[in-house]
Homo-oligomer: A and B are copies of this chain.
Amino acid sequence: VIFLDLGGNGPGLIAPDKASVPALDRGLLYGDGIFETMRSEGGQVPLLPLHLERLARSAGVLALPLPSSEMLSTATLAVVRSIPEPCQAIRLTVTRGVSAQRGYAPPELSRHTLLISAAPYRPPTEPIRLCTASSRIYPGSPTWQHKSLSALDKVMARAEAARAGCDEALLLNTEGRVVEASSANLFVRRGDRWYTPSLAEGCLPGVMRRQVIRLSQAAETRIDPADLHTADAVYLTNALMGCLPVVQIDHRSLPIRPLPRWSADLFTLG
C-alpha cells in the first residue's frame, strides 16, 4: 500500500503497482527531494517524532515544501495499519513537485509530492562485511547531510561493495577519514568508551545515531580507517536494523562482541 499526495484528486491509499507520480516531477528529473526510512512494530512507528523532526530540518535548509507534521504522522500510521505485517520498513518521500519551468533552478513556489510506502521487513542478524568505497564525501557539501533523493553515489558504492563480495560500503571523506556506511552510521568501542564520527566529518545525522549517542554517551570525534582495526568492536546503526556488528573490513577480520546492553532500548524514545 502506498499513500500518495500529488495535490490533484486529493491524497489516498493506493496499491503499489497502481501508484505513480508525474513524469515531470522534480524528484525524478533532478533528485530534488528528501526521504526518511523508518521501522514499524505492531502498528506503531516508535521513532516517528525523531524522523519528522529531521525531515522538517532538511526541508527548511533545502527550502522544500512540506506538509505539517500532524498530516505526515497521520498518513504514515494509515499506511502502517493498512497492512498486517507486524514489522515493516516505511519510506516517506517528499519532492519539490512538478514545476512549469525547465532546468535545475528551483521555482520560488512549489507544491510537494508526498509518497509513503511500506514493505515487510525482517531485521538482519548476520554481522556485516564492509568494503571501502572509491568515492569520497566532501564534508563541506551543502547536501550530503540530508537524506536526499540524489543518492547515485550511494547506489554505486553499494554496487562496488557487492562486486567485492561485501554487504555494505564504508565511506571516507576527502580527508581520508571514516564517515559512515552507505545506509548506516558507524560506532566504535574502546574498552567501555564509545566513539562516532562527528557531523563535521560529513556524516548523515541519523535518527539511530542520535539514539545511540544518547544511550552510549559516545563521543563525536575524528576516526581514521586504521583506528577501526585496533578497536574492541565496530558497529553499524540505522533506524531499520538498529545496531549490528561489523565482522570484516576490506576482507580483514574484526573481533565480534555481543551487542551492548543498551541495544534493547534503541527503538524507545528518550
Given A21-B21, A183-B104: A28 in contact with B152 (beta carbons within 8 A): no
Q: What's the number of copies of this chain in the assembled complex?
A: 2
> What CA separation (Å) do A30 and B150 show in the bound complex?
6
Q: Which of B23, B26, B117 contacts A115 (CB 8 A)?
A: B23
The answer to whether A153 touches B158, judged by C-beta atoms less than 8 angstroms apart, is no
The interface bits of chain A over 87-129 (1 if a CB of B lies within 8 angstroms of the residue's CB, else 0) are 0010101010000001111100000000101010000000000
CB < 8 Å: which of B115, B150, B158 contacts A104? B158
Could you say which of A68-76, A130-138, A208-216 contacts chain B? Answer: A130-138
Smallest beta-carbon distance A156→chain B, Å: 5
Q: Please measure, in the bound complex, the distance between the C-alpha atom of A40 and the C-alpha atom of B212, giving whole angstroms.
A: 55
Tell which of A48-56, A140-148, A193-201 binds the partner: A140-148
* B138, A136: Cβ atoms closer than 8 Å: yes
Chain B residue numbers with a CB within 8 Å of A155 are 26, 30-32, 104-106
Residues of B within 8 A of A35 (CB): 29
Q: Return chain B residues, CB-CB under 8 Å to A2.
A: 23-24
A16 within 8 A of B: yes
Task: List 17 extra interface pairs beyond A24-B117, A28-B28, A149-B150, CB under 8 A.
Answer: A2-B23, A19-B24, A20-B21, A20-B23, A23-B117, A28-B93, A28-B149, A30-B154, A31-B148, A31-B152, A89-B102, A106-B155, A134-B140, A135-B142, A135-B143, A143-B153, A150-B150
